[in-house]
Amino acid sequence: DSGVTQTPKHLITATGQRVTLRCSPRSGDLSVYWYQQSLDQGLQFLIQYYNGEERAKGNILERFSAQQFPDLHSELNLSSLELGDSALYFCASSGLIGGGEQFFGPGTRLTVL
Amino acid sequence: AQSVTQLDSQVPVFEEAPVELRCNYSSSVSVYLFWYVQYPNQGLQLLLKYLSGSTLVKGINGFEAEFNKSQTSFHLRKPSVHISDTAEYFCAVSLSGNTPLVFGKGTRLSVIA
């Protein structure tokens, strides 16, 4: 158990819909990262938050957004969903010690029908 | 920008045989290097990391990796594999601690009894 929790575990929805994925980092970790894992693109970095502020942005679509709340949990919002958004979405967190090792949650599997 | 190449997409190996999973990276600056393992239907777990210092890094489950700066490689090795090592292995780089990871496409290790 990494200490990072993600809900829900599975999500099935239709094209055009909007969903919210939730992540709670390890206790004390200020950084939260979102990654997307798909068969064709592999593991891709989407966005990073550090103590409530956006720190880095990767290959995140404009239809996607995220935020980190004062209690440090994070939400990834995916809107106007397309079939190609079906993927495994991972959240990871890291702290100030340990060389920035990232601890990954179990992921949310999103299926868009 | 950094990139990671995992030279083998699949590696079959017999139980108790040695294995090497290859990883090459590209970066114009110094990077941190990581190997993660993903078991079926699970998140990613850190096997080992190289930040600086000794080029031979030992990790969990009997794995080790060697950093070779001149060849920009970070190959993962295990002298004797078990059935339980069957999983997907990802090599990753980051610029420093608490920065996003750039992953390779992964190598699927299949251990055959």
Which of A42, A45, A58 faces B106 most closely, judged by CB atoms? A42
Provide residues of B within 8 Å CB-CB of chain A.
Answer: 32, 34, 36, 42-46, 49, 51, 90, 94, 96-106
Is residue B67 within 8 A of residue B55, CB to CB? The reply is: yes
Mutate to test the interface with B, among A59, A101, A103 (most CBs of B within 10 A): A101
A94 neighbourhood in chain B, CB within 8 Å: 97-98
Cβ neighbours of residue B5 closer than 8 Å, sequence gap 6 or more: B23, B24, B25, B26, B104
Q: Do B105 and A45 touch (CB under 8 A)?
A: no
How far is Cα A25 from Cα B43, in angstroms, rounded to an integer? Answer: 14
The tens digit of pLDDT for each residue in A31-58 reads: 999 999 998 889 999 999 999 999 999 9
Cβ neighbours of residue B39 closer than 8 Å, sequence gap 6 or more: B45, B87
Helix (H, G, I), strand (E, B) or coil at A50: strand
How far is Cα A48 from Cα A2, in angstroms, rounded to an integer? Answer: 18
How far is Cα B111 from Cα B83, in angstroms, rounded to an integer? Answer: 5
Q: Which of A41, A103, A57 has the alpha carbon at shortest distance from B105? A: A41
Of all residues in chain A, the one with the smallest CA distance to B35 is A101
How far is Cα B70 from Cα A82, in angstroms, rounded to an integer? Answer: 44
Q: Which amino acid, residue B26? A: S
* pLDDT tens, residue order, chain B (113 aa): 889 999 999 999 999 999 999 999 998 888 899 999 999 888 999 999 998 888 899 999 999 999 999 999 999 999 999 999 999 999 999 988 788 999 999 999 999 99
- Enter the tokens of residue B85: 């090592």
- Enter the tokens of residue A86: 């079906």
Beta bridge partners of A34: A47, A91
Q: Which of B26, B25, B60 has the alpha carbon at shortest distance from A101? A: B60
Which of A4, A56, A107 faces B99 most closely, judged by CB atoms? A56
